């Protein structure tokens, strides 16, 4: 009885191993079939170029732009290794960080514009107070 169980278990384990090998091969084949992320790389490069053209004065924006540059370099390295999944992910991260850098630059510019308007308003108030005091 013991011998019949062993013989019955052997074909099952072979089937399980064969099935596992097929699943693994299919998974590896699926990774290889992912096309190169040329569009994502182009979008990321464009975003980085746009962010680089803007004056980035705050540390958060500068950090985001540096991170985007590092990520696009990592995407290119992954592409060279034909790791298209990683290349796509890194290109998407690079694009997101470049857009963050641009948003940070716009926010900084807006803060400066608000400060300038506030300064002008303060100067006008001072002038009005002087004019009002001189008229009395």
Residue 136 DSSP one-character state: -
Q: How far is Cα 80 from Cα 59, in angstroms, rounded to an integer?
A: 32
Q: Is the pTM of this model over 0.85?
A: no
**Quick one: pLDDT at residue 37?**
95
Q: What is the 3-state secondary structure (H, E, C) of 93-113?
A: HHHHHHHHHHHHHHHHHHHHH
**Quick one: pLDDT at residue 131?**
79
**Quick one: pLDDT at residue 109?**
85
Q: What are the mean pLDDT values of the chain's consecutive 10-residue runs (136 residues total)?
A: 52 61 56 86 97 91 97 97 97 97 91 90 89 71
């Amino acid at each position: 009885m013991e011998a019949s169980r062993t013989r019955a278990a052997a074909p099952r384990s072979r089937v399980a191993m064969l099935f596992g090998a097929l699943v693994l091969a299919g998974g590896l084949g699926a990774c290889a079939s992912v096309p190169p992320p040329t569009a994502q790389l182009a979008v990321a490069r464009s975003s980085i170029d746009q962010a680089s053209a803007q004056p980035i004065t705050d540390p958060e924006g500068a950090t985001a732009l540096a991170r985007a540059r590092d990520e696009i370099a990592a995407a290119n390295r992954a592409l060279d290794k034909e790791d298209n999944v990683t290349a796509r992910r890194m290109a998407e991260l690079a694009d997101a960080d470049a857009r963050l850098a641009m948003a940070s630059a716009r926010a900084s510019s807006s803060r400066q514009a608000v400060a300038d308007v506030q300064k002008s308003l303060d100067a006008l108030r001072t002038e009005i107070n002087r004019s009002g005091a001189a008229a009395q």
